[in-house]
Structure 1
Amino acid sequence: MLNWFRTLSLRNKFVLTILICLVLPSIVSMNVSNFFTRDAVRTQVTDSSRESMRIVNQIVSGQMKNMLYIMNFMQFDEDIQDPILSLSHVDDSTSIGDIFVSKNTIIKRLGTVMNTLGNMYVTLLLPNGQYVATYTTMNFDPRTFMKNSWFPEVEGISGYNVKWIGAEPNYTNGSNQPYVLSAAKKLSLNGLTKGYVIVGLEMTALQQLFNQYENNESMMIIDGRGRILVDRDNSMIGKLFPYYDQLPAENGSSFVKVDGEDYILLSSQVTPEWKLVNMTPYKAAAQQIESFRKTDFGIQMVFLILFAVVLLYVVGTLTKPIAKLVQTVVRIESGQLSERSNISGADEVGRLGYVFDRMIDRIELTLIENKREQELKRKAELAMLQAQINPHFLFNVLNSIRLKIMMKGDEENAELISSLSALLRMTINRNNAYISLHEEIGINEHYVRLLNSRHGDRVVLRVSAASDTLLVQIPRFLLQPLIENAYIHGLKSQSGEITIASRIEEDGRLQVLIKDSGVGMTEERLMELLEHLENATVAQVTEKSSSPTLSGIGINNVFERLRLIYGHRFDYEITSSPGNGTAIALRFPQQPEKEV
């Protein structure tokens, strides 16, 4: 039997498997259900109510999860953390514009996730009294939340737990709904409270969902003390559920008498503190099931026949493209890389064919690029061999020239040649990838001295390096491109001051600051620069750079190189304003995480 199944085509295997796994169980299920429902109507009534309960519970739980998602989003989204931190440090010196930018950033970021989650109102409260709200606060001050009786419980919450508040009077002007369903969470980091987030859910969607079962079932949400939180009748909200003490256990059921009629009572947890309750009149539900049972059999039989007709067509549309794709793979395996399946369509097979063709295109392109890269590499190696000179010969010649100039009494020009010799020695010597900070500073002092010799004594280099940083090993030629950038773009090749400062941060990282007294940048230009530095890669910058100067690698390459060496532990900060110059702060560990 097994061997016979293996000899079948993919199409026949698919059809036979579906018939066995779907059609046969459906037929058996219909017959067994038809036999047992006659003697188990009560069980089916309960199961029907439980199924309705399950569907509603999924939707209600989804709304609760959406509320949780918003709160967790506020706590963990990286794009929101910086504006929250900025708001938490607001003082008298903070401008209204900065506060508006931080609040607007948070609201826009929240808008990207709230548009698909239904009508929710989010409030962010900070310990310093600042707040952010996604609703109008013209007639309501969100800081009054801190005076509510439940707020101390939010303060006492530990970890990532949530305080499920319940039905609160509607504090927004978004609808005529008198209540909103609220929950709150404390935002904390390293044991410190950063703020509080309160999420309010408009009840209209839940009440409309409950109204769908108005004729047969009554649904509501209650809290741990039996108070009604959500009901299709707003007048019931806040009252005690009269049958709270008769609620069954999870996934259980119980029967209660209401005005002499039996009701099935079901409950299900939607949060650790809230329950969804369903009351179904037994008599009406039993009558419905009896009528549904008779029509269900006929409907399923019609669909089974229709399924058998559609099955052959669907299987054919699936297996033919797969067979064509297999043939293409076989031809490509034989070396025909120009072969393509040309399979198209919006389904998975169509996308698979399209992706497969594009993958072969990329493989061909990669082979061409690898060949080109090998040719360029060989040309570069040849050029390097042709360009090699004996560095010792060059240094000896420069020293001889310096000694002759000194013997003639021209100490200033002799000092310039000494600086040039030191700079060239550091440029040519590539044996060590790292040098100490004080050596790097010394090289830049030579560089500024040579720079002033070309344009006159206009640039003053000031060094303010902490003593415990001077022996820290840093990558070679880390500061020179930044010094040159400060001179060309900051000082506009004019006179001014450039400062190099260093210190050890509290987390053990080295901070190196390069600051100029130049023209500075506008906020728009600074944002463009930061975006460029984030998006540019070493390869892109190298391709565009053709400068023969010492800084030909560019400031972009300096940043990208530090990212490669120190990974996520490297970060930088650029501050600038018109007329106040530009400052670039680099922070990275004292030891590299990996080699470049």
Structure 2
Amino acid sequence: MLGRLRKQLLSQSIRNKLLLTAIACVLLPTAITLLTYNALTQEAVQRQAVSNAQDSLQLVNGSVTGLFKSMLNIANYIQVNADMNSYFKIVNAGGELSAKPYEAFIRENNILEQLENLTVIGDKSYVTVLLTNGKSYTNYSTSDYNPADLKREPWFGELDKLRGFQSYWVATRPTVFSMEKLDNPYQISVARTLRLENGEIYGYIIVTVMENQVNAIFDQLIAGQEVMLIDGSGRILSHKDRTRIGQELDLRLREAGAPLGSQVVRTGEERYLVAGQSISFNDWRLLSVQPYKQAAANISSLFKRVFLFQLVSFFFFLMLLIALLRAFTKPLVKLGRVTAAVQQGNLDVRSGIRGQDEIGRLGLLFDQMLDRVKQMLVEVSETQARKRRAELRMLQAQINPHFLFNVLNSIRMKAMRGGDRDSAKMIGSLSRLLRMTITSEKDDIHLHEEMDLITCYVELMNLRQKEEVMLRLDIASEAFMLQVPRFFLQPIVENAIIHGLGQRKGTIAIHAEMHDGGAIELSVADDGEGMNEEELGRLRNSIQVQSDGTMRGREGQHKGFSGIGLPNVMERMRMVFGDGFRMDVQSEPGKGTEIRMRIPAKEEAPDV
């Protein structure tokens, strides 16, 4: 089954393969993603609901903490105010603040005004400063509540255990202020001690706010959730349902709302989302309890809408993908038809596909390739024709080398017997030269063999002309085994004899030395007439043109070093040694001409 399906898939066109692959690569991951998304939605909904509960509770925590902090700030102000503390110490010790009653009244009134001003801005707070001698100072009327009654509170004895700026937080208790009892049945307080330099307590600071101020924050910031303030033992300190204040919270809810914790717990038939955060000043905690269905309702609805949107978007973009793939692959289909036509032998067909993308460049390159193929077919045909003509000429020119050498030796011997030693010498040199050039089947020879060929060539040239040319060789011993093309120096030496020296006597010096890396510097110099700047420029230009490969070198018809054969030498050496080969010409009128060549090591040259 799988094998048949695979065979059918492989037999499809590239367009169908791309379409099937794209659909599979989009459909399968998307289907898996949607299924996984649907399966994980509940978990994501729960995480989001927990996160929302924590964020909401964080706002409440900031406001409640701000309320409690304002209470501590009032206590701190009184505790560190030097003027007020000095006054309280004197009064507690029973001393006279002033000899004049009016001045004592003004001083006491000033203290009361400061206490009153502490709560002018912000939430209403009840401030009490109770000295150990029974004297008290408040920002409320003592007819509303007698501060001396604080000593009968069950928690008052705990204040003697405080040290320095330690605070004692009084859990929610029934309101003691007669004006507040009707509307605010509960209150929350914080207490500090006033101590002498020796640590003895001389007074107490009690700051009280109504519990209603706390649960008002719950209603303002979190709607539809049950928020409460509990102490370390789990007793409810503040709740919008006043009947629950003072009750113990269910243990499972209490544990689920651990500090900075959030959980979904089941109580009976109902699941609740519980979030908890600590109050930084004491061991109290804020708890948010909400039915899970209610907490997740909006988020779950959002997830469902997102899921539906993703499903619709998937089908829309799937259709768009199919349409785009068909449009993108249309040039490939056309290119396939053109390729089939070329396979059948039609080299005149062209795709005509153009564009800036890969397919457009492929169409352009394919058409250019067909043009190049047609051009190469023409060139191959012409090359084969030239090759056949060259082979025919070679067959016509073939002569048995041994027959030629034997005839030349017979002529040389006959000339010697006749007393013509110059002719015999000339024939002997020619025989050696022909033997070295005709009998060798290798294109490359060693440099020392090339020197032997040049020596024979100069001997033959000396027999032709009236005055002899002296050949001076200065070759480094390690350069003798360098592989070079046969007769690459012959055109240079010939130019030196005919054009440089003008077929008169003179000296031709060949110098070769090795350099680092195996390269060799070789020069051929004569002491002939030399060239002027114009002639030297034309010669260098002919060599440079041949080096660029743009045209064949042309022999110049001018006096001096005419350049006959130098472009051909340049071409041969470049074919063997590549761009590493260099040739330069130096010449001055009356001082001769020097051809300098740099021949790279064999490993620097490309294979030919």
Q: TM-score, normalised by structure 2?
A: 0.43
Which of the pair has more CA radius of gyration?
A: 2
